[in-house]
């Protein structure tokens, strides 16, 4: 072969500070060193990394996005005037402080924190699901039948734990305490993108446009969480 030492493992990003049970296969190839060393390093360095960021290894959904609830208030969305966008409350966790990177953002509009315009019957349906379903599990067949829902996956989220793996389809999830889907910014928080990271392009797309467009939810849903990427980079640096 080419002389590379190759090793791969399934990594659960929730074990690395990300508030999401997201598992991905990570493959490392090295010359002159054991590729396994990378995985040894990310585990060995984890506690010190968390300490430096002032976060823990158990970040819940509430820890991630509770400062972004709609009841904080809304303003006209800066990039789409026909929509409403949410504003920040004071940070409620160290994870939120980390995502804000020390900025005082209270009462300011968050980037890409545009709320969907749900019809009244959709809001009513979401509230019923929140009140009558088990969090973090897809809703029952009975509920799907009650509302004649064809979607395979609709999951009301749990505030006290990390989320399931985010897909590129925001309609798969219902906010843990508000009858609505998540915003792009909430998606980004769950993926550990800092609030200073601005997303561009369409918010959503559909049909044939999916083949050519990469809307904001898709940009986030297909990403490796930056919080893990930083730890991976530190491990690779240590190996050099």
Domain ranges of the chain: 5-57+225-239
User: Is residue 60 predicted with pLDDT exceeding 90?
Assistant: yes
Poorest-pLDDT segment among 38-42, 48-52, 86-90, 143-147: 143-147
Confidence (pLDDT) at 211: 74
Confidence (pLDDT) at 1: 59
Cross-strand pairs, 87: 109
Residues 6+ apart with CB under 8 A from 11: 23, 24, 25, 26, 39, 42, 228
Of 237, 239, 228, residue with least CA distance to 46:
228
DSSP states of 91-137: --SHHHHHHHTT---TTSEEEEEEPP---HHHHHHHHHHHHHS-TTS
Of 181, 84, 88, residue with least CA distance to 129:
181
pTM: 0.93
What's the CA gap between 185 and 79, in Å, rounded? Answer: 14
pLDDT digits (tens, 9 = 90+) for 20-36: 999 999 999 999 889 99
Query: How far lies 179's CA from each of 172, 195, 232, in Å?
Result: 13, 24, 36
Confidence (pLDDT) at 120: 97
pLDDT digits (tens, 9 = 90+) for 92-148: 999 999 999 988 888 999 999 999 999 999 999 999 999 999 999 999 999 999 999
Strands 155-156 and 173-174: parallel
Confidence (pLDDT) at 145: 92
Residues 6+ apart with CB under 8 A from 52: none
């Amino acid at each position: 072969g080419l002389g590379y030492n190759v090793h791969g493992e399934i990594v659960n990003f929730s074990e690395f500070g990300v508030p999401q049970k997201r598992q991905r296969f990570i493959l490392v190839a090295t010359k002159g060193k054991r590729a396994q060393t990378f995985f040894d390093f990310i585990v060995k360095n984890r506690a010190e990394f968390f300490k430096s960021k002032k976060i823990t290894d158990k970040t819940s959904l509430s820890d991630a996005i509770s400062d972004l609830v709609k009841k904080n208030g809304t303003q006209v969305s800066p990039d789409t005037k026909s929509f409403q966008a949410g504003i920040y409350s004071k940070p409620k966790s160290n994870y939120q402080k980390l995502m804000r990177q020390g900025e005082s953002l209270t009462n300011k509009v968050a980037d890409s924190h545009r709320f969907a315009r749900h019809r009244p019957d959709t809001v009513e349906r979401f509230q019923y699901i929140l009140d009558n379903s088990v969090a973090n599990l897809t809703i029952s067949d009975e509920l799907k039948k009650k509302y004649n829902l064809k979607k395979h996956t609709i999951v009301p989220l749990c505030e006290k734990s990390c989320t399931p793996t985010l897909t590129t389809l925001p309609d798969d999830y219902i906010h843990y305490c508000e009858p609505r889907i998540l915003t792009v910014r909430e998606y980004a928080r769950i993926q550990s993108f800092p609030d200073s990271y601005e997303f561009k392009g369409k918010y959503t797309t559909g049909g044939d446009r999916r083949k050519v467009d990469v809307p904001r939810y898709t940009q986030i849903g297909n990403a490796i969480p930056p919080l893990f990427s930083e730890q991976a980079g530190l491990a690779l640096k240590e190996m050099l």
